[in-house]
Amino acid sequence: DTWRYAFEEAITDVQGVFATKFKEEVEANSDHEIQLFPYGTLGESADIMEQTQAGILQFVNQSPGFTGSLIPEAQVFFVPYLLPTEEEQLNEFFRTSTTINEMFPEIYAEQGLELLAMYPEGEVVMTTKEPVTAPADLNEVKFRVMTNPLLVESYQAFGATPTPLPWGEVYGGLQTNIIQGQENPMFFVESTKMYEVTDHITFAGHNNFTTAIMANKDFFDGLPAEDQEMIEAAIDTAFEYILEYQQGLTEESLARIQEDKPSITVTRLTEEQRAPFMEAAADVEAQFIEMTGESGQKILDQMKADLEAVSD
Ligand code: 6CS
């Protein structure tokens, strides 16, 4: 039989490379086939989630940036400056985190989803039409964010006018100046040519892009144990593969962007410049608790403990 797997990016993007590895593993180790649906073939991110919950798709890769509107606790990934910027520390957090590997699967299950893995997709950078070194530079900037309330709060706290939009409207929105900024990992800025319609790249160190791969829970629960184990093993292989694949990717993508558009500016905020953005993060954390209550508090506390366990 054939299992259908949709994701939010192109086949050569990080989610596509993960999906391709997963497909190879499943097909090498079983009689099942995987049919991959890259971004755009079945609609926007919200559409592929609906199709998975309805059982039309068996697997979906959707980022908390979108899942946060369905599962409020998933917005914890948008508390700025929570995740470490150091790559090995970050990877170890994703491998060992109790929040990710034990708590979130229970919460996702309530929405009919079997959470198989979460993985990082790279440091998020802002790309804008005017340079950004301070929150004041974001004043009056309509800044596109994924459609989740906490990300809206973040950019409000950063001083911008957050504009939640599905991915498909971002390039055109920048081109026509309906929005003047957006954030994403560097590989995606390159592959989607966001740099053509913005002129300045800013590393504020405020986040790393987290994504998640899930299965329809009824489908997964209905599989024989050997298939479930085969899927979990394929996920583990794809997980380690994608971490290795991403080593140096941000720098390589940036180099290609600069080659294609030498006029683009690249700014890494100094610690001093980061300070006001970091201060804003405290408000965002408080908003997260307001939105999610006791359940969110437990997630945040455990996440901090998980991060502490991988620090130094
Ligand atoms: O910004 C977005 O909407 C998209 N960014 C990434 C890196 N992946 C998928 C998502 O749709």
pLDDT tens, residue by residue, 149-175: 999 999 999 999 999 999 999 999 999
Q: How confident is the model over 12-36, as a mean pLDDT?
A: 98
* CB-CB contact of 258 with 135 (8 Å): no
Task: Confirm or reject: Cβ of 188 under 6 Å from ligand 1.
Answer: yes
Q: How confident is the model over 261-266, as a mean pLDDT?
A: 98
Average pLDDT along the chain: 98
Closest atom of ligand 1 to 9 CA is 9
**pLDDT tens-digit map of 123-150:** 999 999 999 999 999 999 999 999 999 9
What local confidence, expressed as pLDDT, does residue 312 receive?
Answer: 77
Portion of the chain with pLDDT greater than 70, in percent = 100
Query: What span, in angstroms and rounded, lies between the C-alpha atoms of 201 and 267?
Result: 6
Q: How confident is the model over 194-214, as a mean pLDDT?
A: 98
For 142, the enclosing helix (H) or strand (E) is: strand 142-145
What local confidence, expressed as pLDDT, does residue 166 receive?
Answer: 96
Phi/psi region, residue 41 (left: phi>0; alpha: psi -120 to 50; beta: rest), is alpha
At residue 5, does pLDDT exceed 90? yes
Q: How far apart are the first and last CA of the chain?
A: 47
What local confidence, expressed as pLDDT, does residue 25 receive?
Answer: 98
- Enter the tokens of residue 196: 């053509």
Mutate to test the pocket of ligand 1, among 7, 9, 78, 194 (most ligand atoms within 8 A of CB): 9
Tokens 């086949």 correspond to 11
Domain that holds residue 56: 2-310
What local confidence, expressed as pLDDT, does residue 181 receive?
Answer: 98
Task: Confirm or reject: Cβ of 9 under 6 Å from ligand 1.
Answer: yes
How many of the other CB atoms lie within 10 Å of CB of 278? 14
pLDDT band at residue 195, thresholds of 50, 70 and 90?
Answer: very high
Task: Confirm or reject: Cβ of 143 under 6 Å from ligand 1.
Answer: no
Buried b (16+ CB within 10 A) or exposed e, 93-119: bbbebebbeebbbebbeebbbbbbbbb
- Count of domains forming the chain: 1
Identify which of 250, 246, 270, 208 has the alpha carbon closest to the alpha carbon of residue 83. Answer: 208
**pLDDT tens-digit map of 84-133:** 999 999 999 999 999 999 999 999 999 999 999 999 999 999 999 999 99
Whichever domain contains 69, its CATH number is: 3.40.190.170
Task: Confirm or reject: Cβ of 8 under 6 Å from ligand 1.
Answer: yes
Task: Confirm or reject: Cβ of 209 under 6 Å from ligand 1.
Answer: yes
- Rounded to the nearest angstrom, the distance between the alpha carbon of 146 and the centre of ligand 1 is 8
Ligand 1: which residue has its CA nearest to atom 5? 184
